[in-house]
Every structure is written in C-alpha cells, then in structure tokens.
A and B are shown apart, each in its own frame.
Chain A
Amino acid sequence: MSGKRQFRIWRGDESGGDLQDYMVEVNEGEVVLDVIHRLQATDAPDLACRWNCKAGKCGSCSMEINGKPRLGCMTRMSTFGDDETVTVTPLRTFPVIRDLVTDVSFNYEKARETPAFAPPADVAPGDYRMQQVDVERSQEFRKCIECFLCQTVCHVIRDHEENKQAFSGPRYFIRAAELDMHPLDARTDRKEYAQAEQGLGFCNITKCCTEVCPEHIKITDNGIIPMKERVVDRRYDPLVWLGSKIFRRGETPQTSVTTARQGSASSSGATRAGVHSHAGGSHDKRAEAQAQSGVNWDREVPHPTAPAVDDRGKLPLTELTFDRAAAPSPFGDDVTFPLPPEHLNFAHPEQDNKH
C-alpha cells in the first residue's frame, strides 16, 4: 500500500494561515506522525509539531485529524481510505503558536490553581498504608498522560473563550476527583472546590472527553458524575437542579449520600434540601443500604456508548449540525431515570465518619 497520499496541513501562526496540500509518500504500517516526520525531512523542514515518545505515553502529539482530536502517534494510516485526503489541523481550543503547535498554557495555569495533595499530618514517610482496592479509583485518573484532548474537545471552552476563566476542564475535574478519592488526602473539600472554583457546574456530561481519551479513562462516569453527585451545597448547578426535579418532583429528599446511617436519614434530609442522590428514588431499604455502603463498587460499569455520528463519521458537535431540534439529554440517550440504586458504584471512603 506504499504510495503517495494527499495531506492537507494547516500552516500558519497567530496572525493567520491556511491549509496547504502535500503529496507525501506513505508506507505500510505508518501512523500520521510518521508521515509528518517524513514531511519535515523532505518538503517542509520547518513544519512545527510537538512529539516525544511516539508510543502513546507522553501525550505530546495531540492534533486534530480530519476534525477529530487525536494523538498523531496513535492514528494509523491504515484507518483511512486509500484515496482519502488526510487533513491535519492544530487543537482548536488553544491559541496557535505555529503550524500544529498550540499554546496550551491554559492547562498549566489550571493545574497550578488546583490545590495539591495534602499529606496526612501524623503519618511518617514509609508508614503510609492503603489497600489496593482503595488506590485503584485514583490510579485510573493518574493514568492521564496530559494530552489535553479532553480539554480541546470540551464544548464549554471549545468555542467559548469567555468560559475559560471560570472553567478548568475535564483534565482538572479528574485531578480533583483523584485527590478526593485518595485514601490519605487530608483535605476534605475537593468536591466543593470543584464546584465553586473549577466550574464543574458548566459540565453537562456530553461525554465527549471520555470519547477522545487515548488512555480510555472513564472521565465522565467515574470522575465527573461522582463529583457532581456528591457536591453537598446549594450552589446552582443546572444538572443537580434537573436531577432533583426528576428524582423527587419537589419532595423533600429522604436521604443524601453523605448520610451513613438509616436512622439519621430523615433528620438530615430536611437540612439538606436540594441535595440529590441517585439512591434517593428507592423505597427498598436493602437496596438503599447497599447503595449507601458502596457494595456495588466492583460492578461492571457499562461502556460509554459512542454518540451518533453522521455519514462522514464526524461528531455532530455543534447545534447547527446536530440531528434534532432540541438539546440532547445531557445523560445520553441510553439512560432513563430514576437510576436503579444497584447501578451506583461509588461511596466516599469517609461517609461513615460524618455525623
């Protein structure tokens, strides 16, 4: 299958640029990054492109290939048709520096604003004891290679520069979730921080971030949704509000996830009006207790379903190209409410200590 293939690559800088056509040799078994390297060695020695490991481990070569955010080193040429033109553009959400290189400093600023791990005061180095099952939840998020594909695909900031100030993005929601689930982190306000300072409320769970994650981290299901569920304050979050409407239809909630014991459920419920719990819709005491103690943690979580794509295989990312008139369900079309309690899979490690 060796031969010349047509590439269109965006060349330019912050003052502007356009797609340029290249006919370039492509050999069997190559990935897009190999082809870009060949272009650098031949027709375009000054073509700017970031890369490091070329093995999908460092997250440097993020680019948009035929409109979809991808890692160049993990996009095989064999996934394109023989006559298909491959269009490569820089990440759209970040300002262009030159060619395929963008200014991703937004991400590093948000990283700096996210409070760091707080070591437990009374545990000496070498005395940390944690169970494997407890560290695994955070470990999933620590697989992150910081390619920032989730950040560039997130529609809250993709075409909304004005949201960047108040919104940290999926990468930093899972950083907050990771610390929240860390068995020995001394801070207890991770979720409140995510809501108050990181703009978690902007997220309406379209799962685009999960979709593009090359490490297959379930950003939405395992990171963002548990953080949203457990935000215990009355701050306005359209999703929490929507959830409370769906689950209780205006009734006072009977339980909250932070309530450990059945006996205290009704007394705490009144003071925590507006807090929703997916466990709340059930009147089955046993299922309720199960959900509360998190016994379903190791339940097989259903795989996130891919959103419908159009006939060109593209995501309908904007309302203009979307295939229906109204907004889609933020939970995905395959989810119906109320969620059965046995489908919940998370309990805070400290929930039994509160009250």
Chain B
Amino acid sequence: MTTTTRIERHHYDVVVIGAGGAGLRAAIEARLAGKKTAIISKSLFGKAHTVMAEGGAAAAMGNVNSRDNWQVHFRDTMRGGKFLNNFRMAELHAKESPQRIWELETYGALFDRTKDGKISQRNFGGHEYPRLAHVGDRTGLELIRTLQQKIVSLQQEDQREFGSYDARIRVFSETTITELLLDGDRVAGAFGYYRESGEFILFEAPAVVLATGGVGRSYKVTSNSWEYTGDGHALALRAGATLINMEFLQFHPTGMVWPPSVKGILVTESVRGDGGVLKNSDGKRFMFDYVPDVFRKQYAETEEEADRWYTDPDNNRRPPELLPRDEVARAINSEVKAGRGSPAGGVFLDIASRRSADEIRRRLPSMYHQFKELADVDITAEPMEVGPTCHYVMGGVEVDPDSGAAFGHVRGLFAAGEVSGGMHGSNRLGGNSLSDLLVFGKRAGGHAASYADGLTARPKVAVDEVEAAVETALAPLQRDTGENPYTLQQDLQAVMGDLVGIIRREGELADALVRLAELRERVAKVSAAGGRRYNPGWHLALDLRNMLVVSECTAKAALERQESRGGHTREDYPAMEPKWRQVNLVCALDGDTVQLTRKPLPKMRPELIGLFDRAELAKYLTDEELADFDALVADAGEADNR
C-alpha cells in the first residue's frame, strides 16, 4: 500500500501521549534521564485541561500547620477514597508530593506565600490541616505554565549543546494518537494524525506513557473539555492493558445547567455554606425531605433552625443543603424526575433572596464575576439553575504503583494522572489531583526511561498494523451513508447521563448496556463530511469509538458492583458493603467485547493500617479483617512490653 511509505516517521525513546500536568512532568523526567522524548498534545501546547483546576495541589509541607505530615495526608486520602485506594499509591503520593511542589519553584512557579515567605496552604474538604499549595484560584494554570516553561528551558539547553531546540525533547501539538502498535507483547510505537493537516504520523518508540486525562465528554453535563474522550483508557485496553475502578465517577451536585454558556461549570459548595438554599419549581426548600436517618441528628428539621445555624453553629444543627455530595445529588435527581425541576432540568440554587447583594459580592467574588462575565447572570439578583455535573473519573489504567507500568499483557506501556486508576479509590479529595499528576508523572517518566534503557533490541513496528491503522482512520471520511458524528455523540451522552449517571439502578444499567451495543453498530458506520485538513467532524468520529468502549466499561462495572461507595451510588444497594471493599473490578478487552473480572485489593502493610483507629476501620473492614487488625495490635503491644 502506497500510503504507508509516505507516512512521516519519527524515532524516539519515550513517547508521552498527553500534555497536561502528568504528561509534561513525565516528559521532563524522561528527558532528564537522557532519553529522546516526544510529547503529543491533542490541543496547542499549554492548553491542557489541567488549567481548570482551581483549588490547589495537596502536599503535606506543614507550612501553615506544623502538625501536618505524610501520615496524616495518607489517612485523609484513604478515608476520602473509602479505603478502596491502592494503599501504596496513596502512600507514595503523600510522601513525595512536597518535593514535587518545591521542585516547581525551581522551575519558576510563584505560589501564594505565608507571612514567613513559605508556600501558603489552604483548607479544603477532607483534608485535616491546611494543605493545598495554591495561586489564587488558578493553581492549575500555574502548574501547566511552569512545566511548559521548564520544557522550554530544557529545549534551550539542547539548543546550546546540539544546535536544535528539538534535539532531545519535542512537542507535537494538535496531534492525536489513534492506535498503539505492538511487537508481540511489547509496545513498538504509536500511530496518529496531525489535526492541522490530517496527515498521518508514526512514532517508533519502545516506551509509551499515557497521560490523556479523563472521560467526561461522554456525559451531557460536564466540566470537562472536548479532549476528555477516554483516548488513553481505550488505547490501553486495545493494547492489552486493563482498567480498574471504572464505575467510580465524581459528579459535583451543583454544576450550572443554564444558561448554555456556563453549562457544567461548578458552583462551589461555599454558596450553600454561605446561605444558599435549594428550591424546586414550586419554590419549596426541598432538602428537608431528603435527610437520611443516619444524618437525622446532625441536621436541622425546620427552616428556622437551619437559618440560625449560619450565625450560631454551636447551638443549632446544620441546614440539610450541607449534606454530603451524593445525598444532595440524589435529592436533586429525585425532584427533577418527579417533575419539579427547573426549565433546563435542574433545580434552583437561591442565594439572591437570602443575602444582600453586597454581602454576596464580598463573600463569593469569583463566583459573582465568573457568572456575570461568562453568562450575564447576576447571582445577587436571581437564583441559579443547577444540577449534577460530571467532573472526574477515579478509574483508569491499572498500574504498578511504583513505576506506573500498565498491568495486563503488554510491556513498555505506562500511565499517570487521571487516566491511571487506583490512587483515589472510590472518590478523590480536592487538591489530590494536581499532586497526583506530579508524583506519578515523574515516576512514570523515569520508569519509562529505564525500561527503554533495559531493552537489548528495539521492538519493530509491523507494516500491516500501520496499514490497518490508516484504513481505520480514513474510514469515516470514505463512508457517506453513515450518521453524523455529532448526533452519535449526543445519543451517547444521553444514554450515559440518563442511565449511568450519578444515581444508578440495575434496570437502567442493563438498559444502558443494550443501548450502548446499538450505538456500537452505529458508530462503526459513522461518516464525516469534508476533507482531512482540520476537520473537527472527522476528529470526533475517530474519538467516538474510544468514548464508547470506555462507557461500556463504566456501565458494566456499575452494574456489577452491588453497593454504594464514593463515586458510585446504587439506589437499589444504598449501603457501603465491607465485602465489596476487598474487590476491584477489572476491565479487559477480548476481541471487541469488554470482559469484567474481580480482583482482590492488595493488603495494606501493618505500619500503614496501624495509622488508623479501630473505630474508624470498623466502618470499612469485614469482621475477619478486623480480627487480623486486632491480632496485629496485640502483637505490637507484646513487642512493646518485651
């Protein structure tokens, strides 16, 4: 076939797919290890979704409260993930994130400071001490810019040494990888296209790091950008790697659903903390009807008591608007399904009628400005329309905690950041994602480099695989009878949003799997109008199959896990079940179909489980596990007495 001979070819030691925080940190590490490194970015360099992270990067530096240390951070992370986290990843993350943050300062980052000139740290939900290094509310942008500028500085070193900026590290911007190429069970390269020209490009490389982020574009209401189509998840599956925890998606209960210009954008919980209340279309403050029995004692029963709490929290109980995220989301969901929702399918979040305009502007300045500027919505004058929005996927490529190497039957494949799974368990704490990117980005980059070093011969790319990849990529352009990719994406989003959303039921999940199977047939016949040059319709047509296979994994795992935990809520199994804590659901691809298997969680090391109180562990562990824990404590006690 003539097309193969004309494909642009590049040889690298390490190819990093994804140019967000994890990808850039991995690339820096591989380049520092002396490897010739390529960074593939679906967008322009520096536009990655990491810029959306506002809160900060969690690292137990102890700058604000000196009692903070890695053990406390580790405990908080495990608690947040409801003990489903891979303990080793949580441990490494807690231990290494301070160094990763300090390192950024040597690259030129400028974090907000404490009075004594150290990096300032802020409080955040789930973190026991102030722990998030931050720059106002644009920490993600600072992180991306800093890593981007570090890469430029490495390129400047190479320019001085070799006369070319691109000698050892090169950024391929607006380039999409559609296929990983294998030599037996070893990664041999990656195949893709330049978005700009539509020309194909082939990377021959023994080591590939996936850092492609999440899957949010499969949902109608999402805070994620168009890039989040689960590319890395799907590439890994097709290369023989496995995914874990795919049933766990983080939904924020109050994302804007109207107007369209701000759809999906998060409305911070502090709006409710500062007096905002949720109302349905009848104007009723409905959260009082949704307080579960276990929380009954801590939450107010009347509006009067709830309203007194804001000024006198010691003598009154909290308003029910401040229930945990999943409870609030469930309540909103029920109101909407009962026909009492807002016109755009959410409910009303009203702070305008409860606080003076001045006070709102003073307490929520960035919220006020964001909605004023982006949507001309004045939150001091009218209620907001909010509903659950898809935010983050906890699940991802199953990796070795220390090296980031993918499990399954493939070698030379690594993953870091949102695309990898295990670190956050069933629910991620705010602020842990930015530090996750840095810690595991560095590890994956470093281990990819040493893996490439250890090879005696470079794996070879097979010509027929490249030809097959070319054919698959061109197919949507050559068909003119299939459906419009945008219609298919909307249909996929409808299935996932309606049936595999925040609150799940067995019947709906089974229905979703049937509909996804129908969509699979339609996606296989998708056609894109136009040519190869910068054609977004074609690009979407190619992304669809990734979104589809990842959605199947989510739906299957959600159907299998018969309990509610963190980012997975089953209406028919509302309780957390200790037996299920011992199980990871692992997805693999067998031909075209997703295979689901159960796999036991690794057992926490004694000194780590010893960091927790028995009373806390009792909520999560089975009786047998608790007996083991008691034996462990008894042993330690004896050892002390001896």
A119 CB–B CB distance under 8 Å: yes
Cα distance, A78 to B102, chains bound together (Å):
45
A182-B146 Cα distance, complex, nearest whole Å:
13
Contact A111 B152 (CB under 8 A): yes
A45 touches B530 (CB 8 A): yes
Q: Is the CB of B534 within 8 A of A74?
A: no
Q: Does A221 contact B (CB under 8 A)?
A: no
Among B112, B117, B165, B196, contact of A97 (Cβ-Cβ < 8 Å): B196
Query: Does residue A295 face the partner (Cβ distance < 8 Å to B)?
Result: no
Q: Is A29 an interface position by the 8 A CB rule?
A: yes
The A-contacting residues of B in range 81-109, CB under 8 angstroms, are 98-99, 102-103, 105-108
Evaluate whether A40 and B486 lie within 8 angstroms (CB atoms) in the complex, with A98-B534, A142-B145 already known. Answer: yes
Closest CB in chain A relative to B156 CB, distance in Å: 6
User: A117 near B153 (CB under 8 angstroms)?
Assistant: yes
* Residue of A33, A104, A131 with most chain B CB atoms under a 10 A cut-off: A131
CB-based contact B261/A76 at 8 Å: yes
- Segment of B134-142, B303-311, B571-579 engaged in the interface with chain A: B134-142
A312 lies within 8 A of chain B by Cβ: no
Is B346 at the interface (CB under 8 A from chain A)?
no
Q: Is the CB of B102 within 8 A of A126?
A: yes
A22 adjacent to chain B (CB < 8 Å): no
B375 within 8 A of A: yes
Chain A neighbourhood of B265, CB < 8 A: 55
Q: Is the CB of A46 within 8 A of B538?
A: yes
Measured CB to CB, the nearest residue on chain B to A135 is B110
A116 near B536 with CB under 8 A, answer no
- B residues 262-276 touching A (CB-CB < 8 Å): 262, 264-265
| B116 in contact (CB, < 8 A) | yes
Q: Are B108 and A182 in contact (CB under 8 A)?
A: yes
Take A45-B529, A125-B103, A128-B105 as given contacts and tell me if A112 and B374 are in contact as well, using a CB distance cutoff of 8 Å: no
A331 on the B face (CB < 8 A)? no
Contact of A116 among B47, B149, B537 (CB under 8 A): B149
> A99 interface residue, CB < 8 Å from B?
yes
Chain B residue with Cβ nearest A58: B47
B49 within 8 A of A: yes
Query: How long is the Cα–Cα vector from A45 to B165 in the complex, in angstroms?
Result: 37
Quick one: given A98-B533, A182-B110, are A116 and B538 in contact (CB under 8 Å)?
no
* Contact, CB under 8 Å: B534 / A99: yes
Known: A56-B373, A143-B138. A46 touches B529 (CB 8 A): yes
Chain A residues with Cβ below 8 Å from B376 are 29, 76, 78
- B150: interface (CB < 8 Å): yes
Interface assignment of A59: CB less than 8 Å from any CB of chain B: yes
From B156, B370, B373, B535, give the contact of A112 (CB < 8 A): B156
Question: Taking CB as reference atom, which chain B residue is nearest A101?
Answer: B534
**Interface residues in B508-527 (C-beta closer than 8 Å to A):** none
Q: Does A229 sit at the interface, judged by CB under 8 A?
A: no
Chain A: which residue is nearest B530 at the CB level? Answer: A46
Closest to A52 in B: B225
Q: Which of A29, A34, A143, A146 contacts B46 (CB 8 A)?
A: A146
Q: Contact at B375–A76, with CB atoms within 8 Å?
A: yes
| Shortest distance between the CB of A223 and any CB in chain B (Å) | 15
B113 touches which of A60, A74, A101, A132 (Cβ 8 Å): A132
A185 to B106, CA, bound (A): 10
A59 to B44, CA, bound (A): 10
A125's closest neighbor in chain B, by CB? B102
CB nearest to B150 among chain A residues:
A116
A:112-141 near B, CB below 8 Å: 112, 114-117, 119, 125-126, 128-132, 135, 138-139
Residues in B whose Cβ lies below 8 Å from that of A132: 112-113, 120
B113 to chain A, nearest CB (A): 4
Chain A residues within an 8 Å CB radius of B259: 28-30
A138 and B99 alpha carbons, distance in the complex (Å):
23
The 8 closest A-B CB pairs, nearest first, are: A29-B259, A46-B530, A117-B108, A116-B153, A129-B117, A45-B537, A41-B486, A48-B534
Task: Give B contacts to A, CB under 8 Å.
Answer: 43-47, 49, 51-52, 61, 98-99, 102-103, 105-108, 110-113, 116-118, 120, 135-136, 138, 141-142, 145, 149-150, 152-153, 155-156, 159, 165, 173, 196, 225-227, 258-262, 264-265, 370, 373-377, 484-487, 490, 528-531, 533-538
Supplied contacts A50-B44, A114-B152, A135-B112, 7 more A-B pairs, CB within 8 Å: A46-B536, A58-B225, A60-B44, A73-B374, A126-B99, A143-B138, A179-B108
